[in-house]
Every structure is written in structure tokens, then in C-alpha cells.
Amino acid sequence: MYKISTLVIILSLAFSSLSEAQSYIGVNFNYMKALGEYGDNLTSNPRGIGFNYMFQPKSSFKHFYVGLQVGVSMYAMEGYNEAVWIDEELATIEVDEEDCFLSYSLTGRYYLVEDRLINPYLEMRFGGMSFFSTKLTEDKYDEYYDNSTTFHGTALQTGLGGGFSFHVKDNLWVDFNVIYNKGSHTNYRDIGSKDVNFRLDPEASEFESYTGNLNFGLGVQFGF
């Protein structure tokens, strides 16, 4: 999470030198409604945090902004037992697993009006989602168990939707949007089943489908 926020700050400083008009940097909470087979396969709908940077390419492009969105979301988390060899004896230890994805997209946003209390806009996105799983144990088992992160697949996404920003004061806005994302076909893992063998078998616990979703975002934006 720290690395993602640092990346957004660096990008904002770089892009700001190109911008001749208002720029925004924001943070938002995302709730994603997984659709179709994708939704059927997931333990729960993904939730996560995202960061965005928006700027006007030129001041003459009134109401139009471009930018970048990055974030991370989680849809499954479980603790379960695995057998490992410790000092030549077979022991059972608890493993915590999180199934997540990274999201990233280029964004175009057109405000229907600006400088009002409520500013509605249309938005389109193009990017992707990269699914991964992280397995962790207690520190004392580090030499016996390989804590690891495994990437499963990446889906391309094209998004279209809209929202509005609510002007709070000065350079602070509350931002809300709803985006429909059409996601391509890819692999992902979910550990929601209570069957232990299902969890331990990489093939049995991995799904494959299209990844369409409806994303609800709520956050704040800072102008500069």
C-alpha cells in the first residue's frame, strides 16, 4: 500500500508540470459488484482502496481531464492448517491467505459543469486487473514454510460510467462514482470453500471466467 501511494505522489508531481489548469489527487474506497460467473465464483464482492490523479491536458480543454487510477482490493481471506516438517517431525501450522487483485487504468473524465456545489461528470477507463494470492504464517515458522505471493492472471478492462463531486470547501471535494467495467477472461483463486483439500489443491481452488463488474467508488479529492 505504501509503494502504491508513493507512486501516485511521484506521478502527480511529474504531471503537474504539464498541466496548465486545475489538477486533482484523490483517495477512494471501492466496492465492486462482481457480475455473472465471476460473481458466482467469489466468496464475497471485492473491497479495497484506490488512488487517482487527474489533470487538464491544456486549459483550453474545458471540463475535460485525463489521469491515472491505481488500487488494490481483496475478496477472500481465510486461515487454515497445513502440515510441515519441523525438526524432522510432521507438525500442523496455521496459514493465513488473502486473495486480492491490483487494478490500474488510464482515465478520461468530462465534467458537465464545474465550480458548483455539485459537479456531475462522465468517465471512461481502460486498464486491467492482476489477481494474486498471499500466504503468511507466524514469524517463528519462517524457516519451515515458504511465505509467498503467487500471481494467477491478468484481465483487461474497459469501463464507462459517471458520478459527481461535492464541493466541501476551498480545494476539497467529496467524490462518488459508479463505473461498469467489461473484463476479459482470466484465472483467479478463491479460498472460500470450507473443504480443506479444495484450499490446498491449486487447480481445484482456481477459477477461470470473464471478469465483468460494477464498481462503486467513494472518496475525497484535493485540488491544486
CATH of the domain at 39: 2.40.160.20
Alpha carbon distances (Å) from 130 to 6, 36, 73, 224: 20, 19, 10, 31
Give the model's pLDDT for residue 18. Answer: 43
Cite the DSSP H helix spans in the chain: 2-16, 36-41, 196-200
Structural domains in the chain (count) = 1
State which residues form the domain around 192: 2-223
Give the model's pLDDT for residue 224. Answer: 83
Task: Divide the 224 residues of the chain into consecutive groups of 10 and give the mean pLDDT of each group.
Answer: 50 45 89 96 94 85 91 91 82 88 97 93 97 89 84 96 95 96 95 62 78 97 90
Q: Name the residue type at position 6.
A: T
Question: Do 209 and 185 contact (CB within 8 A), yes or no?
Answer: yes
Grid coordinates in use for 15?
Answer: 504531471
Q: How far apart are CA 210 and CA 93, in angstroms?
A: 35
Alpha carbon distances (Å) from 32 to 27, 46, 116, 117, 144: 16, 5, 29, 27, 37
Neighbours of 36 (CB within 10 A): 13
Give the model's pLDDT for residue 203. Answer: 60
pTM of the model: 0.82
Give the model's pLDDT for residue 17. Answer: 42
Question: Do 161 and 176 contact (CB within 8 A), yes or no?
Answer: no
Give the model's pLDDT for residue 45. Answer: 96
Give the model's pLDDT for residue 80. Answer: 80
